[in-house]
Structure 1
Amino acid sequence: MTTAPSTAELIAARQPGFSLPRDLYCGQQALQDDLEQIWYREWLFAVPACEIPKTGNFATLNVGQYPVIVIRGADGRIRAFHNVCRHRGQRLCPKASGSNPKLVCPYHQWTYDLDGKLLYARDMGEGFDASKYGLKPVHCVDIGGMVFICIAQVPPAINDLAKNLMTYLAPSALADAKVAFSSTIVEKGNWKLVLENNRECYHCGGSHPSLCRTYSDDPEMTVMEGPNSASAEILDHWDRCDAAGLPARFVSAPDMQWRLARVPLMDHQESFTMSGKAAVSRRMGTIPWNDAGAMMFYHFPTSWNHFLPDHAIVFRILPISPTETEVTTKWLVHKDAVEGKDYDLNKLTEVWLATNDEDRRVVEENQAGILSPAYEPGPYSPRQEMGVLHLVDWYCGLMSSRLGLQAAAE
């Protein structure tokens, strides 16, 4: 009986410039390796901080097998914990979000303070030491209004990302924002297919009529190689932003795990709306013009985001199974913006609700084709799919390194 190739062997056999072997998109072992080597070890975008603005506000998410709760404490600090009671393992908070003055296990009412300390455990007997049974913490950091978590015992360095992200997010003033709308869908596709689809606009003209009213599918408008290397239109936009003190020029991690840049929308349009005009009259932050474009932030493996003068859109993906991915989108507006007065919710959300559903269909058909034994990896377009190449090269490089070290240790 032939043994199936390992994830490391599949990656080693991958032809550079081509899509990945079939099992990396649909195999259970590949997903388990992805979880253990990436999702359980890297910083992940969890929620915008403005989603939990008050003491006791919480949000939950599942990172593979790990349920996590993110909560704001009485001291204003945002913390994250494993969403597991230290008594008999009940999930503390089954809801996606809410607010509690204390964290009370619904099973036997063990009660924890918002900093994770165990406050109450009934009838545990003489000598029971509550200090040994606080909630298990998860690394958590608020960077300019975006909350990141890391499951690993020792997280990777985040200083370089934090420094750049705080600078680029500052003009959007996310501390003064609120969540106007949230959408969660499940795409029946591997998490890498969801990200690959996001990282190119080769498909946009044929798939996204609403988005392409304002967002160009010309690769020259999204391919940037450095702070002085981009199309003439983008360079002109960056010069304009520089003159106003608005961070805009391309900056990235050396391995392209994250990247930041502000790009103009087509024809000086203002926002991702059907009309191209701003969706919210009460603007966010200190961005000086309506046509300042979108500050784009990508972070592998979990997030892409757009920050505009009138609103922001943050996206988070989480793997569910080898062929299922949860995609959550949140629209942020100024905290004082009033629905029905300062913005119409339909106009604010219609473009990206449609785009998300269109992307879902594309990803699901992509996955359906890859499930066929007839699938074999095909070549990426060096002009249209450079962003996909960045993603796949990052994935293969990281996994090769970590799986190789693991094999050597064994």
Structure 2
Amino acid sequence: MTTPTLSTAQLVASRQPGHSLPRDLYCSEQVLRDDLEQIWYREWVFAVPACELPKTGNFATLQLGEYPVIIVRGADGRIRAFHNVCRHRGQRLCAKPGGSSPKLVCPYHQWTYDLDGKLLYARDMGDGFDASKYGLKPVHCIDIGGMVFVCVAKVPPAINELAPNLMRYLAPSGLGDARVAFSQTIVEKGNWKLVMENNRECYHCGGSHPSLCRTYSDDPLMTVMEGPHSASNEILQHWDRCDAASLPARFVNAPDMQWRMARVPLMDNAESFTMSTRAAVAQRMGNIPWNDAGSLMFYHFPSSWNHFLPDHAIVFRILPISPTETEVTTKWLVHKDAVEGKDYDLQKLTEVWINTNDEDRQVVEENQAGILSPAYEPGPYSPRQEAGVIHLVDWYCGVMSSRLGLQTAAE
């Protein structure tokens, strides 16, 4: 006798607080559709660092569920986003992940759009054709301190709490004077929630990340913070030092923990995420006063976690591909004048997180393989080691309960 399939709302309602989620929330096609509709298509999603688009005509693309999106810098210097779909017969305008073009030209029939989305040219469409009605459809887009977020909803959620905090905390990193030194995209064969759960704890770090643990402590006291004056003594002392230098550092967060940021010290006065523990880039970013200022850690559900160090920054973006596949893109940012081979060695800059990303991929894929078993049942989280995971699943279940409940009431 087959077990009846529960809806996403029923699965969320059935979950036991403080435990991992029911099986189908990690592998069901219907759950993924609901995740996309209720979260990914309604929330701000980190897209690219603004420095990836330094000049007029620079563009980047991403696939957000069913929505192909293009982000482009216009002649006025403004970064905009559009649905990457020609208004003629729906051809995808740009298939490449990025590049540069003075105009956006559809490869199918050469309909041509200005960088602000206006249709400029459509051949042989007849005298009654009104080009002004066929501009590209816009996607909400905002540049916050050098990080570009997009939202495909008709009405995006408020961002008035995140924006001023993120701008203030990112300002010392000088992202406006940065460039992308290296980019890596991998596919992890795991649900997007497993990818984010894995990031939100270091319970696994000692057994999985020998490179990272040279500089990043797996002691939960080094990442668990309850407020701007509630943390371990080591973190509080670091924040006092940062306060004296007017360097934003203290813990700040959204009430529902959708985002948070804080600057935390690395182990033993380490300067950067390198095998040597010393700075990877001689030409430092921004105006952070010391090499050992630690990492400004910023995460934003559902799509991103990030590290901003005195010598470089690392930004991460995840995008769901299928119920059991997630795209993970990592970009290493350095000062725009830093010269490879002179100011930094690319291998030394990237090796810790290339190793860590691959190790995380293996962990997530084995986690997903176990959850696919009918024998899986949700297990308890460690309140000490996995508080960040609890924040994530509580946020996810809260959002899904609210939105699926409202949807049911409306029907």
Structure 1: distance between partners of 2:187 and 2:47: 17
Q: Does 1:12 align with 2:36?
A: no
Structure 2: distance between partners of 1:358 and 1:71: 33
Q: Does 1:391 align with 2:392?
A: yes
Structure 1: distance between partners of 2:296 and 2:15: 33
- Tell me the TM-score normalized by structure 1: 1.00
| 1:279-311, Cα deviation, whole Å (9 max, x unpaired) | 000000000000000000000000000000000
Mapping of residues 325-340 of structure 1, within 5 Å: 325-340=326-341
* Count of residues paired in the alignment: 410
- The equivalent residue for 1:169 is 170
| 1:297-342, Cα deviation, whole Å (9 max, x unpaired) | 0000000000000000000000000000000000000000000000
| 1:350-396, Cα deviation, whole Å (9 max, x unpaired) | 00000000000000000000000000000000000000000000000
- The equivalent residue for 1:208 is 209
Q: Does 1:23 align with 2:24?
A: yes
* CA distance 1:232–1:131, shift in 2 (3 Å): same
Structure 2: distance between partners of 1:269 and 1:128: 63
- The equivalent residue for 2:187 is 186
**Deviation, structure 1 residue 2:** 5.4
- Give the aligned residue type for 1:55: T
- Give the aligned residue type for 1:174: L
- The equivalent residue for 1:150 is 151
Q: RMSD of the TM alignment (CA)? A: 0.5
Structure 2: distance between partners of 1:195 and 1:15: 19
1:341 counterpart SS class = coil
Q: Does 1:135 align with 2:141?
A: no
* Aligned structure 1 segments of 4 or more residues deviating by more than 4 angstroms: none
Structure 2: distance between partners of 1:360 and 1:350: 15
- The equivalent residue for 1:302 is 303
1:226 counterpart SS class = coil
- Give the aligned residue type for 2:44: W
**Deviation, structure 1 residue 3:** 3.5
- The equivalent residue for 1:104 is 105
1:318 counterpart SS class = strand
- The equivalent residue for 1:93 is 94
- The equivalent residue for 1:324 is 325
Structure 2: distance between partners of 1:15 and 1:349: 39
1:326 counterpart SS class = strand
Structure 1: distance between partners of 2:15 and 2:105: 49
Structure 2: distance between partners of 1:14 and 1:408: 21
Structure 1: distance between partners of 2:39 and 2:233: 37
- Give the aligned residue type for 2:305: W
Structure 2: distance between partners of 1:5 and 1:59: 39
Structure 2: distance between partners of 1:20 and 1:243: 43
**Deviation, structure 1 residue 126:** 1.2
2:314 counterpart SS class = strand
- The equivalent residue for 1:288 is 289
Q: Does 1:226 align with 2:190?
A: no
Q: Does 1:358 align with 2:356?
A: no
Structure 2: distance between partners of 1:269 and 1:302: 28
Mapping of residues 107-126 of structure 1, within 5 Å: 107-126=108-127
- Tell me the TM-score normalized by structure 2: 0.99
Q: Which runs of 5+ in 2 are unaligned?
A: none
Structure 1: distance between partners of 2:40 and 2:270: 37
Structure 2: distance between partners of 1:268 and 1:190: 36
Structure 2: distance between partners of 1:346 and 1:159: 39
- Give the aligned residue type for 1:274: M
2:136 counterpart SS class = coil
| 1:22-69, Cα deviation, whole Å (9 max, x unpaired) | 000000000000000000000000000000100000000000000000
2:140 counterpart SS class = strand
